[in-house]
Amino acid sequence: MKYNEEINRRRTFAIISHPDAGKTTLTEKFLLFGGAIQVAGAVKSNKIKKHATSDFMEIEKQRGISVATSVMCFEYNGVQVNLLDTPGHKDFAEDTYRTLTAVDSVILVVDCVKGVEEQTKKLMEVCRMRQTPVIIFINKMDRDGKMPFDLLDELEQNLKIKVRPLSWPINMGSSFKGVYNIYDQTLQLFQAKSKDDEKMLIADLSDKLLDREVGEADANQLRQDVELVEGVYNQFEVNDYREGHLAPVFFGSAMNNFGVRELLETFIRISPTPLARETDKREVAPTEDKFSGFIFKIHANLDPRHRDRIAFMRVCSGKFERNTFYHHVRLDKDVRFSSPFSFMARSKSLVDDAFPGDVVGLFDTGNFKIGDTLTEGENMTFKGIPSFSPEIFKEVVNKDPMKTKQLEKGLQQLTDEGVAQLFTQNLGHKKIIGTVGELQFEVIQYRLLHEYGASVSFVNLPYYKACWITSEDKVKMEEFCRFKQSVLGNDKEGNLIYLAQSEWYLNTERTNNPAIKFHFTSEFKNDEEQY
């Protein structure tokens, strides 16, 4: 197959949602359709259960299993679908944000009963920041949820994106009868746990067939609703979606396998093929013949007898080949990989080559950190793999001064892996760990002890956000730094950060210091209004 054809037949995406909305169920249905798994329930056991809040070992065990399902590949209608898994547990949200840097589009699952939830908003903010195309799947239509028009308004308002329904439900809950596909003009009638989703072509909604199938009252309601949809929402333009300005919306029920196949088929039809990516030097097109790629995730083996790690690399251009030397830009050295692997649902297999959009697993002995770039020699680094402001901050207390070196090394390596962020506060040179979830502190404590022999405890710190600060006004910046010494520090790369005690403090500082810019991600791009 020609190189361009290989690129054009790839779709790399993630399914994201607030915990419990149905991400795992939908993933599983996709895998069943793609023939990547044969039985339902196979994916379930791999997810980090959101209910396990403090059983760290259990979670790590599940995390271990989840390596195999970090990327799930399958073929559907000749298209190679690379589905990147994201952790279900909210404490691993940062993992999810990073995975989003490696995809070309996402499917966002929303529970029709709960509507937009906290995590839905945060995930959408990350997508918006990167202009990632989003398709929204409103799930659990077999339950009595919010009214469809209300849900659409809620999506537009809370997620700050224009939406366009491409399907429309006929009732919901116990009287849910089916979904009319506005895009294809087909009607699909609901049967709980339906396997074969027979569709009926209803090109003209005034067709009496509709009344016979769903009853006159529901048929009339559907006619009115669709008329309203057509009146309120603009015609669907695929480019608006691909540019990240418009989210098409589908309704269905993942558990009942309803509306899932049409979602998958529409997704394959409209979703973008591997996109060009920005580096610090230039934009890299997938069609370039020289290979380039970046590391977006590192997974450590927790077994102390096997200290290897797996680095997940997204191929951005050219063809990646096994046993070929590539340039590790940050370390300025050439490296080659004798056993890179790809993923096929639950199993890993050795790969000889990979194309743009593919994700390759590389065995790593500590050479990689998140965001590292590999090329055929060009010195450039992929952008858009930022750190986000953590939400929980704790000071690291070294309980065994004899192990200071080990602690330093452990903290460096764990934070390279992206388990947490490390800051040094100006005042007293305190080492501060920042995360988005409590669970990471358990992970860090356990791993520092078992892998590096360093024993630590943590002291809670009253911070709410760490903001990266910049200013074009040198004098104002120096003045701010002089006055705010105690709440300033640096991230691992030496960038200046401000530790805000609360939203109020942050807003006050912003108002009082208009010359200073407060950023919520380490890559300062259009992120002023984030969070």
Specify the stretch interacting with ligand G4P by CB under 6 A; choose among 21-29, 223-231, 321-329, 423-431: 21-29
- Which three-class secondary structure state does DSSP give residue 4? helix
In the bound state with ligand G4P, the residue whose beta carbon lies nearer, of 109 and 454, is: 109
Rounded to the nearest whole angstrom, what is the least distance from the CB of residue 13 to ligand G4P in the complex? 16
- Long-range contact pairs involving 470-474 (C-beta distance under 8 Å, separation at least 24): 470/496, 470/516, 470/517, 470/519, 470/524, 471/515, 471/516, 471/517, 472/515, 473/515
Residue type, 196: D
- Which three-class secondary structure state does DSSP give residue 473? coil
Please calculate the CA angle 314-315-319 and round it to the nearest 5 degrees: 155
25 binding ligand G4P? (CB under 6 A): yes
In the bound state with ligand G4P, the residue whose beta carbon lies nearer, of 26 and 295, is: 26
Q: Quick check: 27 and 43 in contact, CB under 8 A?
A: yes
In the bound state with ligand G4P, the residue whose beta carbon lies nearer, of 172 and 392, is: 172
Which residues neighbour 187 within 8 Å (Cβ) at sequence distance 6 or greater? 178, 179, 180, 181, 199, 200, 201, 202, 210, 213
In the bound state with ligand G4P, the residue whose beta carbon lies nearer, of 256 and 435, is: 256
Q: Can you state the angle between helices 148-159 and 216-232, rounded to 10 degrees?
A: 30
In the bound state with ligand G4P, the residue whose beta carbon lies nearer, of 139 and 375, is: 139
Specify the stretch interacting with ligand G4P by CB under 6 A; choose among 191-199, 212-220, 252-260, 404-412: 252-260
**How many CA atoms within 13 Å lie on the side-chain side of 521?**
23
Rounded to the nearest whole angstrom, what is the least distance from the CB of residue 191 to ligand G4P in the complex? 13
Rounded to the nearest whole angstrom, what is the least distance from the CB of residue 242 to ligand G4P in the complex? 25
Rounded to the nearest whole angstrom, what is the least distance from the CB of residue 50 to ligand G4P in the complex? 6
24 binding ligand G4P? (CB under 6 A): yes
Rounded to the nearest whole angstrom, what is the least distance from the CB of residue 314 to ligand G4P in the complex? 23
In the bound state with ligand G4P, the residue whose beta carbon lies nearer, of 28 and 442, is: 28
In the bound state with ligand G4P, the residue whose beta carbon lies nearer, of 44 and 333, is: 44
Rounded to the nearest whole angstrom, what is the least distance from the CB of residue 438 to ligand G4P in the complex? 19
DSSP E strands, 418-492: 421-425, 431-435, 456-461, 465-471, 488-491
Report the site for ligand G4P in 27-66 (rule: CB under 6 A).
44, 47
> Counting Cβ atoms within 10 Å, is residue 33 exposed (0-12), middle (13-18) or buried (19+)?
middle
CA dist 245 and 241 (Å) reads 6
Q: Which helix (H) or strand (E) holds 148?
A: helix 148-159
Rounded to the nearest whole angstrom, what is the least distance from the CB of residue 35 to ligand G4P in the complex? 20
Report the site for ligand G4P in 71-130 (rule: CB under 6 A).
88
Binding pattern for the stretch 202-241 against ligand G4P, x by CB under 6 A and - elsewhere:
----------------------------------------
Q: Is 181 left (phi over 0), alpha (psi -120 to 50) or beta?
A: beta
User: For residue 255, which phi and psi values (nearest 5 degrees)?
Assistant: -60, -40
Specify the stretch interacting with ligand G4P by CB under 6 A; choose among 116-124, 228-236, 249-257, 477-485: 249-257
Place of tokens 């999810």: 96
Pick the binder of ligand G4P from 21, 116, 246, 466 (CB under 6 A). Answer: 21
Pick the binder of ligand G4P from 11, 19, 297, 392 (CB under 6 A). Answer: 19
23 binding ligand G4P? (CB under 6 A): yes
In the bound state with ligand G4P, the residue whose beta carbon lies nearer, of 17 and 435, is: 17
Q: How many helices (H) and strands (E) does the chain have?
A: 14, 31
Rounded to the nearest whole angstrom, what is the least distance from the CB of residue 257 to ligand G4P in the complex? 9
In the bound state with ligand G4P, the residue whose beta carbon lies nearer, of 255 and 362, is: 255
Give Cα separations from 267 to 70, 135, 206, 237 (angstroms): 20, 8, 28, 14
Rounded to the nearest whole angstrom, what is the least distance from the CB of residue 292 to ligand G4P in the complex? 33
CA dist 531 and 524 (Å) reads 14
Size of the site for ligand G4P (CB under 6 A): 19
Residue type, 454: A
Give Cα separations from 29 to 135, 137, 295, 372, 380 (angstroms): 17, 13, 28, 34, 39
Rounded to the nearest whole angstrom, what is the least distance from the CB of residue 255 to ligand G4P in the complex? 3
Pick the binder of ligand G4P from 98, 128, 140, 383 (CB under 6 A). Answer: 140
- What is the separation of C-alpha 248 from the centre of its chain, rounded to a whole number of angstroms? 18
In the bound state with ligand G4P, the residue whose beta carbon lies nearer, of 88 and 340, is: 88
256 binding ligand G4P? (CB under 6 A): yes
Which of these, 414, 409, 416, 406, lies nearest to 453 by C-alpha position? 406
Pick the binder of ligand G4P from 3, 8, 20, 238 (CB under 6 A). Answer: 20
How do beta strands 162-165 and 246-251 pair? parallel
* DSSP characters over 206-246: T-HHHHHHH-HHHHHHHHHHHHHHHHHSPPP-HHHHHTTSE
In the bound state with ligand G4P, the residue whose beta carbon lies nearer, of 17 and 99, is: 17
Pick the binder of ligand G4P from 6, 95, 142, 358 (CB under 6 A). Answer: 142
Rounded to the nearest whole angstrom, what is the least distance from the CB of residue 38 to ligand G4P in the complex? 18
255 binding ligand G4P? (CB under 6 A): yes
Rounded to the nearest whole angstrom, what is the least distance from the CB of residue 92 to ligand G4P in the complex? 12
254 binding ligand G4P? (CB under 6 A): yes
17 binding ligand G4P? (CB under 6 A): yes
The site for ligand G4P (CB under 6 A) is made up of 17, 19-25, 44, 47, 88, 139-140, 142-143, 253-256
